[in-house]
Amino acid sequence: MSKTIKAAVIGHPISHSKSPLIHNYWIGKYGLDGSYEAIDIAPENLKAEVQNLIDQDYAGFNATIPHKEAMISLCENSAHNAQVIGAVNTVVIKDGKLNGMNTDGFGFINNIWDTCPDFDFQGKNAVVLGAGGAARAIVSALIGEEIGHIYLLNRTREKAEMIRNEMGFLSDLIKVRDWGDRNTVLGKADILINTTSLGMAGQAALDIDLSVLPKTALVNDIIYAPLYTDLLQQAKACGNPVIAGIGMLIHQARPAFKEWFGIMPDVTDELKELVLK
Ligand code: NAP
């Protein structure tokens, strides 16, 4: 008799998470005997509750705010990119041991390729706005794709400098600029990525002037609510190709699903619509 494969997302709070919807869509689509649920775990209970998941024979789980950084030290093994990023968002449990990965960079790159399959990052210039957790994953992924240079701008400049310094011998690839220079630096961009929370529903819009941005530059906002932020609407009006953040959210879930359930799932328009409802 085959046994149900169990997975989950842990966070605090967790009710807002779209992950159960995404994984249960795929479980249904591929006719698998599996389950995926959202589990609220307070930070002080993290270690004990994770041990419960191991004891209950879970295949693994996603970790979201506020557990992504703490999971690094709880994992026996962490993939190199998770160590560089300093955060684990996916855990695979094997032989009672926790193996950590970070799939945000995979989600980011594959979302770009979904829309622009021919875009080659090698030798290009990226302008990245923001230096939070998502920016860290994206910078690391861009470097993995042999980007030329990354112009990194953040309201709190020190956080951008910290990311640059953590890249060790690759730190020369990252050029930190002042947040106030965001309009002029765009002249250098082959791709512009907003990783700040500006433009998200309930937040102020990103205040930016795209006049000097080359018309061929891709513009990606990793925010997915709303689907098309002010930045993307402005870029579209300028004639630039635009890429919304919803695909990143779904693509980052794919390697986790593959690890637990054995199938690399597809990103379909039906799933995107479901997630946006
Ligand atoms: P985070 O670690 O909290 O970072 C937030 C970033 O936004 C920081 O760089 C912060 O700058 C900047 N910021 C916030 N308010 C600002 C303001 N008023 N002016 C200028 N900069 C401001 O968050 P995160 O985890 O990186 O997530 C960032 C956004 O990406 C969120 O909207 C999240 O929903 C989205 N996201 C999407 C995906 C996806 O799959 N599509 C994945 C991850 C995240 P300071 O450092 O100066 O505070």
Residue 62 has a pLDDT of: 97
Segment 106-122 mean pLDDT:
97
Instruction: Look at residue 166 and tell me whether its pLDDT is greater than 80.
Output: yes
Instruction: Look at residue 130 and tell me whether its pLDDT is greater than 90.
Output: yes
Instruction: Look at residue 187 and tell me whether its pLDDT is greater than 90.
Output: yes
Element (DSSP H or E) covering residue 249: helix 246-251
**Nearest residue to 275 (alpha-carbon basis) of 26, 90, 88:** 26
Mutate to test the pocket of ligand 1, among 136, 140, 196, 229 (most ligand atoms within 8 A of CB): 196
The set of residues, in sequence order, having a beta carbon less than 8 Å from that of 31 and lying 6+ positions away, is: none
CATH of region 105-244 = 3.40.50.720
Segment 68-73 mean pLDDT:
95
Residues carrying CATH 3.40.50.10860, the chain: 5-103+253-276
- The pLDDT tens digits for 26-44 are 999 999 999 999 999 999 9
What CATH fold (topology level) applies to the domain 5-103+253-276? Rossmann fold (3.40.50)
Residues carrying CATH 3.40.50.720, the chain: 105-244
Name all residues whose Cβ lies below 6 A of ligand 1.
104, 107, 130-135, 154-156, 159, 195-198, 200, 222-224, 245, 248-249, 252
- The pLDDT tens digits for 54-65 are 999 999 999 999
Distance, in Å, from the CA atom of 93 to the CA atom of 52, rounded to the nearest integer, reads 12
Residue 104 has a pLDDT of: 97
Beta strands 60-63 and 5-11 are: parallel
Residue 2 has a pLDDT of: 74
68 carries an active-site annotation? yes
Whole-number Å distance, alpha carbon 170 to ligand 1 midpoint, is 24
Residue 34 has a pLDDT of: 98
**Nearest residue to 135 (alpha-carbon basis) of 86, 182, 184, 91:** 86
- The pLDDT tens digits for 219-255 are 999 998 899 999 999 999 999 999 999 999 999 999 9
60: left (phi over 0), alpha (psi -120 to 50) or beta: left
Query: Could you tell me the pLDDT band of residue 277, with boundaries at 50, 70 and 90?
Result: confident
Segment 157-186 mean pLDDT:
96
Query: Could you tell me the pLDDT band of residue 1, with boundaries at 50, 70 and 90?
Result: low
Instruction: Look at residue 16 and tell me whether its pLDDT is greater than 90.
Output: no
| List 18, 68, 124, 188, catalytic entry | 68
Distance, in Å, from the CA atom of 198 to the CA atom of 226, rounded to the nearest integer, reads 11
**Among the atoms of ligand 1, which is closest to the Cα of residue 222?**
41
Instruction: Look at residue 175 and tell me whether its pLDDT is greater than 90.
Output: yes
